[in-house]
């Protein structure tokens, strides 16, 4: 045991829930992770002692806790802080006989994973990735972006309901589990403001283990769902008991963009050497789902469908450029029919703090607020290729908006797969059964101790 471990009187590893892991043996006390955690507005990590006794410690303050965003992993020069790996679990799943193994890639991953294979940031390699994942042995290539379309439908319907029935407003997005943890831990009094819609990969994972399993005549117990996400927090989210549908987790394993690249490299698969393939039919998605990967995208997708639900008319000018991120806090007033919605789009919890203060002083200041914990949204997520910086984030963002602009279907409610899921399956279920697939609940969070 190293002197550092003795000093801390703990083992070699410190786990932040199921998301991130810190290795005391590797840490050289460079302070990068401590500064990052401070700069995002959390301050869970601290540097203690001086000289060769310098080491990272974890806040014991009962009012401070990690939100699992993984931003601290981005600058570590010795890989002492990293995502909790699930590569071996995925390899094992691919070898189990009699199982249907589904893979689904998060919207932002297609614009960043190319960096691991020599492509400039923002290169869209989705077609190459579909082929590479097929080559790796997955039975079905679906997409979290389809789940994002389900989320948009659930969230837009809820927003319309809250607008018509006087709240509670503002409604907060809940796709980012780090933001959810922030509210549950730091501001539990605002839990009623979080939309009850589940997050995209939980929605699609649930859809595949219910609607799709029934359609294909497969026992849901024989389906394994693997999500490739830009995010360490999604690893922890997928483990929540509250998401279980008939005893099964919608998602079985989450690997980050970095882990997915490492897995492909381990098996000598270079996506760029393969002919671009296609997503399988039930993974089809809209442009609205694609922009979920960038800050402002969740709100814009929801607004495109909210317009339809509120006015009964389709939007002619699809782009809501006023909610597209150019700043870490973006405020706008959006007109939908007779309604004027005051909205805010924020990235980093540090920037959410002043908005929360504003709401506490004036609860009517906003109608709808999107917060993502990572810089620029998921394109800057803690599981993205190292070293993410604002220049790379900008290129990845441009790529997602470009993909959306070229798609034939750019509104979630026009995605035929999602329509089939809602009209042909969800509509026939009881309210309780529908809720078990589409919605969730939240509770005041206690400090996590590993
Ligand atoms: S995961 Fe996020 S909140 Fe937790 S220590 Fe790292 S930077 Fe801080
Ligand atoms: S912003 Fe995206 S990548 Fe970052 S913690 Fe939230 S969901 Fe994960």
Ramachandran class of 352: left when φ > 0, alpha when ψ lies in -120 to 50, beta otherwise:
alpha
Where would I find the beta strands (DSSP E) of 215-317? 223-229, 253-256
Q: Which of 19, 110, 109 is nearest to 70 (CA)?
A: 19
Give the residue, out of 21, 31, 37, 61, with the most ligand 1 atoms within 8 A of its beta carbon, to mutate for a pocket test. 37
Asked if residue 176 has its Cβ within 6 Å of ligand 2, the reply is: yes
Ligand nearest to the CA of 22: 1
- pLDDT per residue, tens digit, the chain (450 aa), is 343 433 343 689 999 999 999 999 999 999 999 999 999 999 999 999 888 888 999 999 999 999 999 999 999 999 999 999 999 999 999 999 999 999 999 999 999 999 999 999 999 999 999 999 999 999 999 999 999 999 999 999 999 999 999 999 999 999 999 999 999 999 999 999 999 999 999 999 999 999 999 999 999 999 999 999 999 999 999 999 999 999 999 999 999 999 999 999 999 999 999 999 999 999 999 999 999 999 999 999 999 999 999 999 999 999 999 999 678 999 999 999 999 999 999 999 999 999 999 999 999 999 999 999 999 999 999 999 999 999 999 999 999 999 999 999 999 999 999 999 999 999 999 999 999 999 999 999 988 754
Task: Quote the tokens at residue 327.
Answer: 């700043």
Query: How many A from CA of 352 to the centre of ligand 2?
Result: 14
Domain pair 3-83 / 85-444, same fold: no
- Say how far apart CA 174 and CA 445 lie, in whole Å: 15
Does residue 198 come out as left (phi exceeding 0), alpha (psi in the -120 to 50 range) or beta?
Answer: beta
pLDDT of residue 147: 98
Using the mean position of ligand 2's atoms as its centre, give its distance from the Cα of residue 376 in Å. 10
Tell me, using a 6 A CB cutoff, whether residue 67 lines ligand 1: yes
Ligand with minimal distance to 375 CA: 2
Ligand at shortest distance from the CA of 227: 2
- In this structure, the chain runs to a length of 450
Tell me, what's the pLDDT at 334? 96
Q: Which residue's CA is minimally distant from atom 3 of ligand 2?
A: 381
Is residue 71 within 6 Å of ligand 1 at its C-beta? yes
Instruction: Give pLDDT, residue 449.
Output: 59
Q: Any idea what DSSP says for residue 129?
A: H
For domain 85-444, the question of CATH label 3.40.470.10 is answered with no
**Where in the chain are the domains?**
3-83, 85-444
The pLDDT value recorded for residue 26 is 95
The alpha carbons of the chain give a radius of gyration, in whole angstroms, of 21
> Which ligand has the shortest distance to the CA of 295?
2
CA distances for 403 relative to 43, 291, 377, 407, angstroms: 36, 9, 17, 7
CATH of span 3-83: 3.30.70.20
**E strands, 106-263, in order:** 140-143, 171-172, 223-229, 253-256
Q: What are phi and psi of 372, to 5 degrees?
A: -120, 140
199 — alpha (psi -120 to 50), left (phi > 0) or beta? beta
Q: Select from 16, 22, 348 the residue to mutate for testing ligand 1; criterion: most ligand atoms less than 8 Å from CB.
A: 16
pLDDT at 49 (0 to 100): 86
Beta carbons of 94 and 260 less than 8 angstroms apart: no
Residue 286 has what pLDDT? 98
SS3 at position 173: coil
Report d(CA 120, CA 60) in Å as an integer.
41
User: Which atom belonging to ligand 2 lies closest to the Cα atom of 178?
Assistant: 5
Which DSSP string corresponds to 299-310? HHHHHHHHHHHH
The per-residue DSSP string of 184-211 comes to HHH-GGGGGGB--BPPHHHHHHHHIIII
Q: Look at residue 11 in the predicted model and tell me its pLDDT.
A: 83
Q: What pLDDT, on a 0 to 100 scale, did the predictor assign at position 251?
A: 98
Task: Name which residue sits closest to atom 8 of ligand 1, judged by CA.
Answer: 37
């Amino acid at each position: 045991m190293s002197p550092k471990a003795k000093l801390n009187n703990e083992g070699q590893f410190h786990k932040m829930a199921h998301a991130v892991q810190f290795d005391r043996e590797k840490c050289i006390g460079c302070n990068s992770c401590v500064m990052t955690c401070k700069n995002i507005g959390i301050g869970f990590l601290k540097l203690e002692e001086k000289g060769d006794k310098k080491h990272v410690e974890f806040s014991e303050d009962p009012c401070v806790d990690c939100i699992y965003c993984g931003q601290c992993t981005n600058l570590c020069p010795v890989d002492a802080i990293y995502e909790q790996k699930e590569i071996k679990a995925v390899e094992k799943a691919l070898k189990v006989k009699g199982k249907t193994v589904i893979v689904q890639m998060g919207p932002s991953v297609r614009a960043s994973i190319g960096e691991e294979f020599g492509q400039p940031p923002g290169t869209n390699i989705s077609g190459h990735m579909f082929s590479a994942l097929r080559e790796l042995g997955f039975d079905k290539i679906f997409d979290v972006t389809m789940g994002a379309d389900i989320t948009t439908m659930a969230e837009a319907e809820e927003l319309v309901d809250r607008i018509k029935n006087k709240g509670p407003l503002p409604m907060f997005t809940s796709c980012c589990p780090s933001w959810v943890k922030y509210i549950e831990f730091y501001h539990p009094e605002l839990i009623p403001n979080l939309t009850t819609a589940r997050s995209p990969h939980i929605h699609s994972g649930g859809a595949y283990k219910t609607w799709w399993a029934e359609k294909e005549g497969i026992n849901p117990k024989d389906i394994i769902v693997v999500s490739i996400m830009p995010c360490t927090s999604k690893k922890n989210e997928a483990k929540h008991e509250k998401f279980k549908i008939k005893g099964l987790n919608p998602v079985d394993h989450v690997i980050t963009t970095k882990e997915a690249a490492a897995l492909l490299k381990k098996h000598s698969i270079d996506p760029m050497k393969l002919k671009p393939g296609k997503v399988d039919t039930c993974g089809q998605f809209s442009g609205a789902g694609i922009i979920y990967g960038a800050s402002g995208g969740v709100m814009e997708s929801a607004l495109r469908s909210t317009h339809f639900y509120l006015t009964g008319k389709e939007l002619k000018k699809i782009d809501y450029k006023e909610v597209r991120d150019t700043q870490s806090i973006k405020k706008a007033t959006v007109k939908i029919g007779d309604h004027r919605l005051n909205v805010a789009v924020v990235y980093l919890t540090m920037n959410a703090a002043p908005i929360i203060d504003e709401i506490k002083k004036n609860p009517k200041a906003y109608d709808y607020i999107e917060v993502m914990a990572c810089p620029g949204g998921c394109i800057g997520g803690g599981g993205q290729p190292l070293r993410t910086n604002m220049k790379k984030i900008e290129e990845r963002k441009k790529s997602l908006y470009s993909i959306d602009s070229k798609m034939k279907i750019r509104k979630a409610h026009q995605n035929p797969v999602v329509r089939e899921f809602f009209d042909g399956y969800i509509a026939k279920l009881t309210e309780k059964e529908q809720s078990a697939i589409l919605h969730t609940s939240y509770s005041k969070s206690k400090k996590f101790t590993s």
